[in-house]
């Protein structure tokens, strides 16, 4: 049995309509306003992070978890089997401009990495709230990207790592800011400077 994103969305009426990219990206003006309102602070709890504190790839609908949902949302002509695993399709990675035809070559990146969130305020959250953050499909937090690029980014903030495609810097910074703003996470001074620079590419 084959599933399409349209069918998945029809079954799960709570989900937003499919889009070719992560939803909730603000305008440049709104991103600048949000950035100005973020609290600048040093990182905390830097030695206590554990990825297991952020339960991720939770079920979205039926047999489909968050990873599979994003693969269908961001891919083209994606076909899945009864377990919701993608068996064919293509994925364009906006970070590096590569296109892949095997889901195994694609990672789902957390725009604001889980570890970065931890040291920016999430250490004080409940596990339930961290679960919502790690599986946030309402904001521009989850992106289908080249697996090696995701590994290179790791837990880095924009002052340490940026996508190789400068044409994506605008959207990247707006997305990062939107996520930090919604979840009331702090930023460092260096992070704010980098985000400001990237917004200059809009």
Of the candidates 165, 169, 201, 173, the one whose C-alpha atom is nearest the C-alpha of residue 26 is: 173
90 pLDDT above the threshold of 70: yes
Of the candidates 194, 198, 71, 77, the one whose C-alpha atom is nearest the C-alpha of residue 143 is: 71
Give the pLDDT score at 36: 98
Q: Does residue 76 contact residue 90 with C-beta atoms inside 8 Å?
A: yes
| 98-134 confidence digits (pLDDT tens) | 999 999 999 999 999 999 999 999 999 999 999 999 9
pLDDT confidence bin for 21, thresholds 50/70/90: confident
Burial label for 20, CB within 10 Å (0-12, 13-18, 19+), is exposed
188 pLDDT above the threshold of 80: yes
Weakest mean pLDDT among 9-23, 49-63, 116-130, 143-157: 9-23
The residue assigned the tokens 């709570």 is 14
Q: How far apart are CA 109 and CA 132, in angstroms?
A: 15
Mean pLDDT of 72-82: 94
| 78-87 confidence digits (pLDDT tens) | 999 999 999 9
Give the pLDDT score at 3: 32
pLDDT confidence bin for 1, thresholds 50/70/90: very low
7 pLDDT above the threshold of 80: no
């Amino acid at each position: 049995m084959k599933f399409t994103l349209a069918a998945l969305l029809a079954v799960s009426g709570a989900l937003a309509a499919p889009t070719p990219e992560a939803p909730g990206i603000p305008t440049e003006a709104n991103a600048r306003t949000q950035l100005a309102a973020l609290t600048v602070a040093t990182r905390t709890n830097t030695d206590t992070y554990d990825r297991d504190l952020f339960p991720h790839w939770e079920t979205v609908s039926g047999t489909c978890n968050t990873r599979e949902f994003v693969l269908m949302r961001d891919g083209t002509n994606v076909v899945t089997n009864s377990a919701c695993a993608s068996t064919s399709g293509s994925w364009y990675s906006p970070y590096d401009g590569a296109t892949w035809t095997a889901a195994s070559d694609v990672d789902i990146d957390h725009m604001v990495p889980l570890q970065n969130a931890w040291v920016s305020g999430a250490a004080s959250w409940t596990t339930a709230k961290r679960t919502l953050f790690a599986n946030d499909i309402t904001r521009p937090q989850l992106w289908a990207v080249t697996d090696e690029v995701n590994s290179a980014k790791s837990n880095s903030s924009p002052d340490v790592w940026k996508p190789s495609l400068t044409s994506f810097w605008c959207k990247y910074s707006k997305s990062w800011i939107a996520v930090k703003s919604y979840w009331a996470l702090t930023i460092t001074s260096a992070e704010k400077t980098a985000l400001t620079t990237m917004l200059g590419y809009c």
